[in-house]
Amino acid sequence: MKALAIRHLSYRYPDGTAALDDVSLSVEENECIGLIGPNGSGKSTLLLHVNGILPERTQGESGVSVFGMAVCPETLPAIRRTVGLLFQDPDDQLFCPTVYEDVAFGPQQFGESGDAVRSAVMEALERTGLKGFGARSPHHLSGGEKQRVCLAGILACRPRMLVLDEPTSDLDPRGKRELAALLQRLTATKIIATHDLELVVKLCSRAVVMDGGRIVADGPTVELLSNEELMVKHGLEKPHILQHSHPHTNYPLSPDHG
Amino acid sequence: MRHDFLDRYSRLSSPIHRLPAGVKLGTALGLVLTIVMIPPGALWVFSLPAVVLLATAAISRIPLAFLVRRILFFEPLVLGIAALNLLRPGGGRIFLAVLIKSTLSLFTMILLANTTPFHALLRVFRSAGVPPLFITVLALMYRYLFVLVDEAERMTRARSSRTFDRNGARLWRSTASVIVQLFLRSSERAERIFAAMTARGWK
């Protein structure tokens, strides 16, 4: 079964701006995909369709299906449970007064109670290295900690698919390293929209390039990202770790990226 | 970052801070009610709640200077309301009573806010049967107040770094545009927060 199947999806914002233009994409279970492209290319808009936040009014099917479920008003609760969506600005996502309550928000909304919520929260905090952070307020955390709390809040819902919008944009190099390691340990289907091309090389075996609301390239990460002409044409660049790659395989020479 | 301008000392450790939030909330409300009910004729009676409040403040180890500054910050509002009484015949006494009453009530609430974390108060509201929607609104307000203040501060700083003269009219105009921007950004943020809540199952 496909984890995600998008067929001929187009979308216009209410003000008339065209954001997606006939997008088709299919993702296998446990695949990790890097979604790249310049600002305004439609990456975030596409991600918002994956768990049915857009379009605001769905009539029937939207052309998106997740693990065989078509995204429509009836399947929304199940879809939102299956897909964990991480937003770009942690302040938008951490809306509860304490870390514990925030991580517990998802499980509670999905109708769990008492010990089930507690154990889900504890497990999520432990997996994200946030043990003992439960009583802290979000506004007393650093950027990296906020981002990990957001991730914990999603993991607590035990999703099968993680959809991440610019997860490293607000992080310092250490925060980026830690987040990359954390994501690498998680087994789930992952879709990562980002400008951080090194992260894509590190985590994703497949890359999808978007520009102007369309998918313009889709293929193995190293192959696409080494294609300097393609990268520059779509406002990207050949990442540094691919500058020194094996002449025949194109794969990076350093052992931990091989 | 001034994310603690409201309740900087709410996380201290003192006998007062360790009291259950419900007890503190109940006492504070009771005290305010008592202060309001004291007839304006007997001004000396107000020394009783004042002594209670001062003693609480001393035990809670909150610096007195901080409390005084906070009270002075809100005092203009109180004065504005109290001053209206001066226009009435014999209003001087009423003015004094209103002034003392509101200052003491203010003192009580500032003490409560600085001895009890806000989320603990929300938990008391929840168990007291306050409607969940109301609590959610309060929680969101408290959470994003700090984000908003940070944003306003950044914008004001950016503006002053590009302001080269102190021409009154121009200054007012740019203040207005900061306020407009802040409003637009907040409404956009509200949309994103709603999306984030929906994504985690909010109905």
Pick B7 or B79 by higher pLDDT.
Answer: B79
Contact (CB<8Å) A137/B122: no
Contact (CB<8Å) B192/A87: yes
Residue A15, Cβ density class (10 Å: 0-12 exposed, 13-18 middle, ≥19 buried): exposed
Summary mean pLDDT of chain B = 87
Residue A212 has a pLDDT of 94
Kindly state the tokens that stand for A76. 């929304």
The mean pLDDT of A98-121, rounded to a whole number, is 93
Q: Which residues contact B50 (CB under 8 A, 6 or more apart)?
A: B104
Q: Is B86 on the interface with A (CB under 8 A)?
A: no
For chain A, the domains span: 2-88+161-257
Give per-residue pLDDT as tens, A125-139.
999 999 999 999 888
Residue B3 has a pLDDT of 56
Q: Which chain B residues contact residue A96 at CB under 8 A?
A: 139, 143
Please tell me the distance in Å from B106's CA to the nearest CA on chain A. 24
Give per-residue pLDDT as tens, B65-103.
999 998 998 889 888 878 888 888 877 888 888 899 999
Residue B41 has a pLDDT of 76
Q: Which chain A residues contact residue B139 at CB under 8 A?
A: 95-97
Residue B43 has a pLDDT of 82
Summary mean pLDDT of chain A = 90
pLDDT-derived band of residue A247, with 50, 70 and 90 as boundaries? Answer: low
Q: Which chain A residues contact residue B203 at CB under 8 A?
A: 77, 109
DSSP state of B130: -
Alpha-carbon gap, residue B184 to B59, rounded angstroms = 44
Residue A257 has a pLDDT of 47
Kindly state the tokens that stand for A25. 């994409």
CATH number of A2-88+161-257: 3.40.50.300
Minimal CA–CA distance to A33: which of A148, A158, A159, A164?
A164
Q: Is the pLDDT of residue B37 over 50?
A: yes
**Beta A64-66 vs A32-36: how paired, if at all?**
unpaired
Residue B92 has a pLDDT of 83
Q: Is the pLDDT of residue A258 over 50?
A: no
Q: Which chain A residues contact residue B142 at CB under 8 A?
A: 97
Alpha-carbon gap, residue A200 to A192, rounded angstroms = 8
Alpha-carbon gap, residue A117 to B201, rounded angstroms = 14
Q: Is B201 on the interface with A (CB under 8 A)?
A: yes
pLDDT-derived band of residue B1, with 50, 70 and 90 as boundaries? Answer: very low
Q: What are phi and psi of A65, to 5 degrees?
A: -135, 140
Contact (CB<8Å) A97/B119: yes
Answer yes or no: are the C-beta atoms of B140 and A139 closer than 8 Å.
no
The mean pLDDT of B6-35, rounded to a whole number, is 89
The mean pLDDT of B50-71, rounded to a whole number, is 91
Contact (CB<8Å) B142/A97: yes
Minimal CA–CA distance to A141: which of A113, A105, A103, A107?
A103
List the single range of A21-35, A153-167, B139-153, B156-170 with lowest mean pLDDT: B156-170
Answer yes or no: are the C-beta atoms of A98 and A130 closer than 8 Å.
no
Q: Is the pLDDT of residue A225 over 60?
A: yes
